[in-house]
Each structure stands twice: as C-alpha cells, then as structure tokens.
Amino acid sequence: MLSTIRRRSRELLFAFPALLARLGVVDKEKGSEAFDLAVPVMVTGAMRVALRTADLLMVSLAIGDTAVAGLQLGFQYYFIAFGLSLALSSGTISVVSRFKGAGSNARADLAIKQSLWLTLAVALPLTGVAWVFAEPLIALLSDDPTVVGHGETYLRLVMLGVVFRFWGLVGARALAGGGDTRTPMYIRTISVPLNVVLNALLIFGVGPVPELGIAGAAIGTVLANLLSAGLFTGVLLSGRFVARLRLRGRQFDPAIITEILRVGTPLAGSRLADTGGRFPFLFVLGQLGTPVLAAYAIGRQVMQLAMMPAWGYSTASSTLVGQSLGAGEAAEATDYGWQTLRIALVTQVLLAGAIVVAARPIAMAFGTEYVDLTVRFIWAYGVGVAGFSIARAMRGALRGAGDTSWPFYGTLLGVYGVRVPIAALALPAGVLVIPLGGASVDAGLELGVIVVFGAIVGDFYARAVVNVARFWSKKWQQIGLSSTDGTGGEEAEDAGDDA
C-alpha cells in the first residue's frame, strides 16, 4: 500500500517536467533528471524558508515591527557566516561530484574530511567575534535602541550554532555531489519542523517553557542546527551512503584543500560582496524608517518561497554538469546546464505569479501596521524572480565546472554597480522617517521606496546577464576538464580506511 502511494505520488510530481517536455520547453530525460535531483533540495529549501518565515511571523505577532527589524539586522550578520558556509560547501560539491564522475570514490571521501577541517577553521572565530561585538555591529545599521537591542540578542545567541550550520550544509552538499539529494531532505524533515516547534515554544512560552521572545528564536535555531549536524555526521560515518567521512587514515591533502578553496574562494568573495552590499542597502532602509525595514524583511521573506526552487536547480545543475565533465562529456554538460535553466525559470515564474496575486492577504497575516508597504516589496521581488532564477541556475552550472570567478564578477556588478548606487538615490528622494503610529506613506518616501525597488530588480538581472554570458562562451568547459585531471587519482591508503 505504501509503495503504491509513493509510486503514484512520484508519477504525479513528475507530471510537471513531462508536461514541459510535451510543450517543447525541456528535453524529457534531462529535465526529469534535473527535477529529480532538485526536488529534495527544494523541499529542504522550502522548509528552511518556512522556518525563517515562521520566525518573522511569530516575532511580529509576539513583539511587533521593531523586533522584526532587529531580527532582520541580526540575521544579516549571521548571513555572513551562512554565506561562507555556502561557499565552502559549493567547493565540496564541485570537487566531490567531479571525483565521483571520474570514479575516484576514495578521493571524494577525503575531500569531505578536508571540508570538515575548513569548517572548524572558519566557523569558530566568527562565533567569537559575534559574541563580543554584537551590540556595536547592530548599532551601525540602526539608531533605534529597541531595534538594536533585539538585533544584538538574536545575533549573539544564534552565532553559537554557526559551526553546526556549516557542517550540516557541507554534509548535504557532499551527498549531493554523489547524486544523493534525498538523504539531506530526510534529515531536514526532522530538524526544520523541530526548529519551528522549539522557536514557537521559546518565543511565546508554553507551560513550563519560559517566554524568551526573540532570544527564543535564536536558541531554537542553535538546537536544531546541532541536531542536523549530528545526523549528517552519523550518515557520513556509516559508510552506507554515496559519501563517507573516514576518520582514520590520511588527514590532510593539500591538492584537495587547494581545489576546494580555489572553487570556494570566489564564491566566498561573491557571498561577502553580496552580504557586504546589503549593509549600506539596509542602512538606507533604516534611514527611511523602521517600518520600511520591517516591510522589506517581510516582503523579501515571503518571496523567498518563489526563489527557493533556485537552490534545488542550482544544486542539480552543479551535480549534473560536474559529473558530465568528470566523465569527459563537455557537450553533455552544456546541455544539462541549459535544460536545467529552462525548467528552473518556468517553476519560479509560476510560483512568483501565485504569490504576487495573494500578496495582500499574506502581508496582513503578519499583523504589520504597514500592509501596503509590505505588498509593494512583495511585488518588487516578484518582478525580479526571473532574473534571480537565471542567475542562480547558471551559477550552479558554472560551479559544477569549478568556474566560480564569473559569478563573483556578476555579484560585484549587481551589488556595487547597480543595487547600492541606485539605493543611495533613495535618501535624497525620500523623507528620513515615517511616523510609527500609522500606516500612511509620505509622497517623498514613496519616491524613495520606488528607487529601492529599482535597485533590487536591477541587481538580479545584472547578475543574470553576466552568468548567462559566461556559460554561453563555453570557456568554463576547459576549466572543469583540467581541474578534474589536476586533483589527482585514488590512493591505496585512502581506499582501505575504516571509519
């Protein structure tokens, strides 16, 4: 009975790429492969987005718009660590997928161990910095003492779990590099719902559980990340999955570490450039008023539901392109990149359209005083979804080849050539403060907010142009083929290790 339900559910799910194939949008086989790899990551991403959305919703209902603004500012610093973990894990998936494609399984396993050491080296210092400097870091972005207090509390506590977040993401990408995106999904189906439950209990306080407010959101996230990291460690140590963490044997391989860093460094630069550009952008929003900052936080988070599939398709593209290059099939890798882009774009535009239509009731559910402003932010992000989808899908394909420099250039252009300069024009275009007691928007502020919308949309499409142009050039093929050859073959001492 259960197997029948699973089979029928799978048939229903895969009716989507089959329909697109009948319409001539994608190749059926390649579109289905990309979809199959992307769906588990999309489910995981959807749960992550749901968690973040639930946090904003609960904090908004429990405390109000100032807490939402503080949460948004605190999360931006957390996002620095999160971005570095994504860059490190991207280096992991690139190296592991190419080793797997070349049949070098022991080298792929050794790459996971190198990623573990890199995780500890990067994550632990970040935790110390956040614990000591949380208050002045938040105060750089807002002069509202209530907002600063909420942001400081969240940042100091949530960063205690950043090492677990790092390792969980590396574990997920290591499995994905071997073609297993389902096991990470199963782990997230345990950790993410638990995160939501813990946050709800700790934010509101239920029974013997104390009411901790915004501190509860941070503590619940730390505990859930700890559980997730523990589960991934167990999976990788077991030896029963496509990737394995071997504790014994060789501990360091300079060639593999160099390749992980070679792939991950431009991505880290891209993430830091992206995150760094958010701070002047958030400063502009803060000057326009705490309500603008709160509306931005809610609107952006809501539209993450439409942007979320990009993570799945980006991972699928990295895996398929990397494995094809590992097998020496450059033309096949190119086709996988374009096919994945097509199905990704259709998926996200459809989701964005549905959210835009339902923008007002969604905004009202958060209990914000500034529903109109929140709706406008949702619409602005809806316009940018296609650009975001294209940029992410192409970045995934380039990452699979180990060509991560051009996505970095695209980020620099989008953030510092488009978003920040345009957003800066919002200050002279708008007034500096909205009265907190009402939802009316001054005409001058309206112009300033429109300028901010243009900055958001322009950023997405600038990145898309750069990434598409690079993939179109096919210069990434040689990078992928040569780096696969240059990272070495299997070594007997690794192949026989026990956990």
289 or 1: which leads in pLDDT: 289
* pLDDT bracket for residue 433 (50, 70, 90): very low
Q: Does 25 reside within a domain?
A: no
pLDDT at 496 over 60: no
* pLDDT bracket for residue 375 (50, 70, 90): very high
Rounded to an integer, the average pLDDT of 401-424 is 88
56: CB partners within 8 A, 6+ apart: 68, 71, 297, 298, 301, 366
Range of the domain at 119: 34-489
Q: Does 382 reside within a domain?
A: yes
Q: Does 23 reside within a domain?
A: no
pLDDT at 8 over 80: no
Total domain count, the chain: 1
Q: Hey, what amino acid is at 207?
A: G
Residue 24 burial (CB < 10 Å; 0-12/13-18/19+)? exposed
Q: Does 495 reside within a domain?
A: no
Q: Hey, what amino acid is at 57?
A: L
pLDDT at 471: 92
pLDDT at 439: 44
pLDDT at 181 over 70: yes
Q: Which two tokens stand for residue 168?
A: 């969980």
Q: Does 497 reside within a domain?
A: no
Rounded to an integer, the average pLDDT of 144-160 is 90
pLDDT at 87 over 80: no
Q: Does 472 reside within a domain?
A: yes
Instruction: Give the DSSP H or E segment for 259.
Output: helix 254-288
Q: Which two tokens stand for residue 331?
A: 């033309």
Rounded to an integer, the average pLDDT of 324-331 is 83
* pLDDT bracket for residue 175 (50, 70, 90): confident
pLDDT at 11: 62
Q: Which two tokens stand for residue 95?
A: 């190296």
pLDDT at 14: 66
Q: Does 215 reside within a domain?
A: yes
pLDDT at 6: 55
394 or 499: which leads in pLDDT: 394
**Mean pLDDT for all residues in the chain:** 81
pLDDT at 470 over 90: yes
pLDDT at 464: 95
**How many angstroms from the chain centroid is the CA of residue 186?**
18
Q: Does 184 reside within a domain?
A: yes
pLDDT at 418: 94
404 or 1: which leads in pLDDT: 404
pLDDT by residue (tens digit) across 269-303? 767 777 778 888 888 887 787 788 888 888 998 88
pLDDT by residue (tens digit) across 236-261? 888 787 777 887 777 787 878 788 77
* pLDDT bracket for residue 394 (50, 70, 90): very high
Rounded to an integer, the average pLDDT of 374-379 is 92
75: CB partners within 8 A, 6+ apart: 154, 158
